[in-house]
């Protein structure tokens, strides 16, 4: 199976900061990479699919980039509602594993 590794596992940041999260696949997955935001007690939310396509309704401060094995999620200016856990997930081959998550906390 393809393994997905996210870094960092957690980070502290302030409102207004630029934040980047990295996801690495154990083998090439082209651009079959998705990003989700998850808040406790809520449904996970799809932010980006196909490595860089913003899901409808997602603010433009979120962006995704990368291809092959290395991918990045960027938040250009962190807002209070962005404090959450973020997961990458490959949709190249089943069983479509997720990364272990990156928790974004308030500094």
Calpha distance 16→36 (Å, rounded): 20
Nearest Cα neighbor of 10 from 90, 88, 89, 84 is: 84
CB of 40 to another protein, least distance (A): 10
Under rule CB under 8 A, residue 26 binds another protein: no
Q: Which of 98, 103, 104, 107 is close enough to bind another protein by CB under 8 A?
A: 98
Query: What binding mask, one character per residue, do residues 60-79 give for another protein by CB under 8 A, x or -?
Result: --------------------
Name the CA dihedral angle for 87, 102, 71, 37, rounded to a multiple of 10 degrees: 40
Number of residues that bind another protein (CB under 8 A): 24
């Amino acid at each position: 199976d393809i393994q997905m590794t996210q870094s960092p596992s957690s980070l502290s940041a302030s409102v207004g900061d630029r934040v980047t999260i990295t996801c690495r696949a154990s083998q090439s997955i082209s651009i079959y990479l998705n990003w989700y935001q998850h808040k406790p007690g809520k449904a996970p939310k799809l932010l980006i699919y196909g490595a860089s396509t913003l899901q409808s309704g997602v603010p433009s401060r979120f962006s995704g980039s990368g291809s092959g094995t290395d991918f990045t999620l960027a938040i250009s200016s962190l807002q209070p509602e962005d404090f959450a856990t973020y997961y990458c997930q490959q949709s190249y081959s089943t069983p479509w594993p997720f990364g272990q998550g990156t928790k974004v906390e308030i500094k």
